């Protein structure tokens, strides 16, 4: 029985740490800082050196690949992270959009009409509406727009020329001295996306320089949080919206060869083109169908379900999806050496996620989550009731200290342990049975032997 006790203890001791409840630091309201470095492709982490980021990960968690949402562009993916919704559900379906009913246009430079954003409720709005809490943001897409008539209490109007340092200074100031306290903050930076487009991800020399700069910014961020005494109690998530892949002038799909410009309105071009036909839709579709073997042509109703990209008026009647590394162009359009927006099942399109703070385990790695899972995780950390979303809380449970979660090695241990206990119990049962059914004369003989002993003494 001693062995059995030991086994049971061994078996369950592995589970106890995962069951730890809220600790003392939770008496303060939990705080979360969400950071995005635009276009940070997941495998940059394996292919380049990031001493500061690796230190951050060593004391926190890492998700190596985040499967993002289709189309793998900036505005749609940043909105999915903060709403937990696929693009068809949150309504930001591209960086360039047109709404046929209202005849409104949306682009990176014309994004300020709340109409586009109001199909969903981002986490900073939900947080802002809580009693005794506020939100802050430095240029995260959508944070300078009154969505459902609410902006974060503290925010910056978007301007790409404002330095990372200035954004970080504002965010940390708001996190440290605000009343009611800032409990959710979001910070956005345009790199390494801009350089990824310019040089292409295969330009190792330039990307090494750019990614070293990113790592230094992460070093500055951690240093600043430590200096201000925010580091221990703040949860920090560092992630991105999408990856980047190499393009080439050898891989072009020229729409002008297949289609007259007078036949359609072009809403978005590459690598996912959005086509609004001016003539018969089927005619346009037939002209495009055999245009190139390096792109898929879909009528809206035939877009594959796995893209979750169909049920929204802002998705145009025909979309073209270029193969990885191919660029859709018109005669006169320019080429970027790196691009994103492609099929979200391509690993080159995936970003990563790293997190650190009292809510997260230390030194835990996980292969993958979906980007829509980040929203329910953030709501859980902040104690907010999530709006209906496409995320799965179970996918991120293992990252969190307050969740019970079985990882594969533990599961194998438990199965093995249970089998071992059952085997031992069976053996014990068989031995007992044999003893009980042993013939009586034998035990009497033994007793007599025992009785003899005191006489000898």
Residues with a catalytic annotation lie at: 74
Q: Distance from CA of residue 381 to its chain's centroid? A: 15
Q: Distance between CA 127 and CA 152 in Å, rounded?
A: 9
Q: Distance between CA 261 and CA 255 in Å, rounded?
A: 9
Q: Applying CB under 5 A, which part among 240-248, 262-270, 414-422, 433-441 lies near Zn ion?
A: 240-248
Choice from 111, 241, 268, 373 touching Zn ion (CB under 5 A): 241
Backbone φ and ψ of 183, nearest 5°: -105, -20
Q: Applying CB under 5 A, which part among 119-127, 185-193, 220-228, 267-275 lies near Zn ion?
A: 185-193
Q: ∠ at Cα 138 (28, 89), nearest 5°?
A: 90
- As measured in angstroms, the least distance from the Cβ of 166 to Zn ion is 21
- As measured in angstroms, the least distance from the Cβ of 77 to Zn ion is 7
Choose among 345, 309, 355: nearest CA to 63. Answer: 355
- Nearer Cβ to Zn ion, position 73 or 361? 73
Q: Applying CB under 5 A, which part among 4-12, 38-46, 100-108, 380-388 lies near Zn ion?
A: 38-46
- As measured in angstroms, the least distance from the Cβ of 322 to Zn ion is 17
Choice from 31, 35, 38, 53 touching Zn ion (CB under 5 A): 38
Q: Applying CB under 5 A, which part among 146-154, 205-213, 233-241, 396-404 lies near Zn ion?
A: 233-241
353-356 and 245-246: which strand pairing? unpaired
Q: Which residue is closest to Zn ion by CB? A: 74
- As measured in angstroms, the least distance from the Cβ of 38 to Zn ion is 4
Choose among 250, 240, 261, 300: nearest CA to 77. Answer: 240
Choose among 120, 156, 116, 126: nearest CA to 140. Answer: 156
Q: Applying CB under 5 A, which part among 28-36, 234-242, 410-418, 422-430 lies near Zn ion?
A: 234-242
Q: Distance between CA 356 and CA 31 in Å, rounded?
A: 12
Choice from 88, 144, 193, 339 touching Zn ion (CB under 5 A): 193
CA dihedral 244, 43, 395, 344 (to 10 degrees): 30
- Nearer Cβ to Zn ion, position 340 or 361? 340
Choose among 362, 377, 393, 365: nearest CA to 30. Answer: 377
- Nearer Cβ to Zn ion, position 36 or 127? 36
Print the binding letters for residues 50-79 with Zn ion: x by CB under 5 A, - otherwise: ------------------------x-----
CB 138 within 8 A of CB 171: yes
- Nearer Cβ to Zn ion, position 91 or 351? 351
Q: Return the residue matching tokens 């070293």.
A: 212
Q: Distance between CA 199 and CA 246 in Å, rounded?
A: 9
- Nearer Cβ to Zn ion, position 127 or 195? 195
Q: Residue count at the site for Zn ion (CB under 5 A)?
A: 5
Residues 8-27 interacting with Zn ion (rule: CB under 5 A): none
Burial class (CB in 10 A: 0-12, 13-18, 19+), 7: middle
Residues 349-388 interacting with Zn ion (rule: CB under 5 A): none
Q: Which residues bind Zn ion (CB under 5 A)?
A: 38-39, 74, 193, 241
């Amino acid at each position: 029985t001693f062995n059995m006790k030991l086994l049971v203890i061994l078996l369950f001791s592995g589970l106890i740490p995962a069951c730890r409840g809220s600790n003392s630091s939770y008496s303060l309201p939990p705080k979360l800082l969400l950071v995005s470095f635009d276009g940070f492709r997941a495998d940059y982490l394996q292919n380049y050196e990031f001493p500061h980021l690796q230190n951050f990960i060593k004391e926190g968690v890492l998700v190596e690949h985040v499967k993002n949402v289709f189309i793998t562009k900036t505005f749609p993916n940043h909105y999915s992270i903060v709403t937990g919704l696929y693009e068809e559900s949150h309504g930001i379906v591209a960086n360039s959009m047109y709404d046929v009913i209202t005849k409104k246009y949306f682009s990176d430079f014309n994004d300020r009409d709340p109409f586009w954003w109001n199909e969903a409720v981002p986490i900073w709005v939900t947080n802002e509406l809580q009693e005794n809490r506020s939100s802050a943001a430095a240029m995260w897409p959508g944070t300078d727009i009154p969505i459902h008539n609410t902006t974060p209490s503290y925010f910056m109007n978007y301007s790409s020329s404002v330095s990372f340092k200035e954004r970080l200074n504002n965010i940390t100031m708001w996190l440290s001295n605000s009343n009611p306290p800032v409990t959710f903050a979001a910070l956005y930076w345009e790199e390494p996306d801009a350089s990824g487009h310019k040089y292409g991800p295969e330009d190792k020399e330039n990307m090494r320089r750019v990614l070293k700069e990113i790592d230094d910014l992460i070093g500055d961020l951690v240093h600043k949080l430590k200096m201000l005494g925010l580091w221990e109690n703040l949860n920090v998530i560092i992630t991105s919206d999408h990856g980047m892949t190499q393009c080439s002038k050898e891989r072009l799909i020229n729409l002008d060869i297949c289609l007259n410009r007078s036949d359609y309105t072009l809403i978005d071009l590459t690598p996912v083109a959005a086509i609004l036909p001016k003539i018969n839709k089927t005619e346009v579709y037939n002209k495009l169908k055999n245009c190139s073997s390096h792109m898929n042509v879909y009528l809206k109703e035939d877009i594959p379900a796995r893209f979750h990209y169909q049920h929204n008026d802002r998705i145009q009647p025909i979309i073209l999806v270029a193969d990885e590394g191919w660029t859709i162009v018109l005669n006169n359009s320019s080429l970027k050496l790196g691009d994103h927006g492609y099929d979200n099942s391509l690993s080159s399109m995936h970003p990563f996620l790293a997190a650190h703070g009292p809510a997260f385990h230390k030194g835990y790695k996980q292969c993958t989550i979906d980007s829509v899972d980040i929203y329910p995780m953030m709501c859980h950390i902040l104690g907010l009731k999530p709006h209906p979303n496409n995320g799965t809380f179970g996918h991120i449970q293992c990252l969190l200290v307050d969740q019970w979660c079985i990882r594969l090695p533990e599961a194998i241990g438990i199965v093995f342990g249970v089998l071992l206990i059952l085997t031992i119990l069976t053996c014990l049962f068989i031995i007992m049975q044999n003893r009980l059914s042993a013939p009586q004369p034998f035990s009497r003989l033994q007793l007599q032997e025992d009785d003899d002993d005191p006489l000898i003494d």
